[in-house]
Structure 1
């Protein structure tokens, strides 16, 4: 059994590449190999990244993910493998559509729709600009829990003083292969960490478990180089909170956009200053 992220069991820590090590059981059927002790439910970014990889392994060469939409249905267990079943909905002239279900103990814990595109010629207009913030060099490390072999830096925040940042730099600490699908999966792995709802002004409410998560991949971003993750709150209503986020390359280009909805439960907000 592997050690948990940040744990000290005398074993070497797994890498993000171990997270993406899937065994092909049969056509369109895959199983994760990495298991480890974790006192918390299975990290959503892990199962989403693995589901995207499983889908990507069934499309033709040159077709890369351009969007995914996932739903977290049940808590998963990091100490047991996850089975991924892929449905090939359509392969068109330049797009491929896939659906994936992730199963543990005979129950679906996560479902995803993903679309892949062969790309094409067209204008490249990066309208959204990276926030004016400190670069990663010289900043102190910021500990990101639950992620294997990734490091982060915390720049100045739009709302300083809160315990959980909504803006940070991140990259892998291991080299990644020259495979755009792998980098997209690592970006997905990263995109579920943190929340854009931690810094809400309410004293007696805070974000809870994730309900759904979507990512749009605009441009390639090497995840073994620095990327900036920036999140902004959107709205809270009906016991749910919604926020958006953007991931920029080290050069300042928008690489991906994402959005997430979580339960927003009554109770003391643990992220408030002084809490």
Structure 2
């Protein structure tokens, strides 16, 4: 597959492309600036964008033979789409096969997100998957989703398990243009998609409640190409004390489980 990329190709409605969002300016050792933002709502940034840029910054500080295998992010404030994001990385540890990093994303004196992430040298250990991917129609011929949250992504909507839900919990997704042959880039793009929608749609009264993200975790199980179709399935778990928790899976076109997701959101009645 060609890796020649036109960064201006298939931009978001505001003119920003996905690769532009992943371009970071170095401000010194372990200090970066994400100068490109994708404006969805003038009041706040898409959390998946900030998380992706944080993972990109952490990736820039680890040895080239290590790939992201997990991250856990806390969303602390809504960012300002008119301002760049400053990213500082702490190198907690570099072992023989694992590297641990912490990232703080801020605008001025306000912290938007904190992330802990871990990287590992791939191991030729046994590979087993307990169950098959959900049985859904292939993306070809399914309705196209016009989703302003994502830059340069194509989305297709399969039948939904919660037909009366306020938003989808199942979606096919892929980059609209070829991506470089770089596993780190594909992990970042998967992170970008992983915060889309929410598994809370299956809960009673979901449409009447606020669902802002609180924290978000991703485990990267297997390599994946995000310029080919992946299927995300989000499943509600529980509601308690004003918070809702759900989990999810991302499978590739061949049915391999490439990533798992867990997220907690606010679940408060709208005023």
1:243-266 Cα deviation digits (max 9, x unpaired)? 001100011110000111011011
Give me the whole-angstrom Cα distance separating, in 2, the residues matched to 1:205 and 1:263.
12
Which residue, out of 252, 257, 268, partners 2:255? Answer: 252
Give me the whole-angstrom Cα distance separating, in 2, the residues matched to 1:80 and 1:219.
35
Q: CA deviation at 1:79?
A: 1.3
Runs of 4 or more, structure 1, over 6 Å off, are: none
1:29-81 Cα deviation digits (max 9, x unpaired)? 00002145442311100010000010010000110000000001111112110
Q: Is 2:16–2:38's contact at 8 Å kept on the other side of the alignment? A: no
Give me the whole-angstrom Cα distance separating, in 1, the residues matched to 2:101 and 2:35.
22
Q: CA deviation at 1:209?
A: 1.0
Is residue 2:116 matched to residue 1:120? no
1:69-88 superposed matches below 5 A? 69-88=72-91
Q: Is 2:34–2:86's contact at 8 Å kept on the other side of the alignment? A: yes
User: What are the ranges of 5 or more consecutive residues in structure 1 without an aligned counterpart?
Assistant: 8-12, 269-275
Residue equivalent to 1:6: 13
Residue equivalent to 1:30: 32
Q: Which one is further off, 193-202 or 113-122?
A: 193-202
1:72-93 Cα deviation digits (max 9, x unpaired)? 1111112110000000000001
Q: CA deviation at 1:160?
A: 2.2
Residue equivalent to 1:20: 22
Residue equivalent to 1:59: 62
User: What are the ranges of 5 or more consecutive residues in structure 2 without an aligned counterpart?
Assistant: 1-7
RMSD, matched Cα:
1.7
Q: Which one is further off, 52-61 or 206-215?
A: 206-215
Residue equivalent to 1:10: none
1:203-230 Cα deviation digits (max 9, x unpaired)? 7842421100000000011001100010
Give me the whole-angstrom Cα distance separating, in 1, the residues matched to 2:70 and 2:255.
21
Give me the whole-angstrom Cα distance separating, in 1, the residues matched to 2:127 and 2:59.
24
Residue equivalent to 2:245: 242
Q: CA deviation at 1:126?
A: 1.3
Describe the shift of the 1:218–1:154 C-alpha distance in structure 2 as closer, same or farther (beyond 3 A). Answer: same
Q: CA deviation at 1:202?
A: 2.8
Q: Is 2:201–2:207's contact at 8 Å kept on the other side of the alignment? A: no
Describe the shift of the 1:247–1:81 C-alpha distance in structure 2 as closer, same or farther (beyond 3 A). Answer: same
SS of the equivalent of 1:233 reads strand
Give me the whole-angstrom Cα distance separating, in 1, the residues matched to 2:19 and 2:141.
27
Q: Is 2:38–2:151's contact at 8 Å kept on the other side of the alignment? A: no
Is residue 2:182 matched to residue 1:175? no
1:82-161 superposed matches below 5 A? 82-161=85-164
Give me the whole-angstrom Cα distance separating, in 2, the residues matched to 1:163 and 1:248.
23
Give me the whole-angstrom Cα distance separating, in 1, the residues matched to 2:127 and 2:189.
24
Number of aligned residues: 261
Give me the whole-angstrom Cα distance separating, in 2, the residues matched to 1:101 and 1:114.
12
Give me the whole-angstrom Cα distance separating, in 2, the residues matched to 1:36 and 1:111.
20
Q: Which one is further off, 74-83 or 224-233?
A: 74-83
SS of the equivalent of 1:194 reads coil
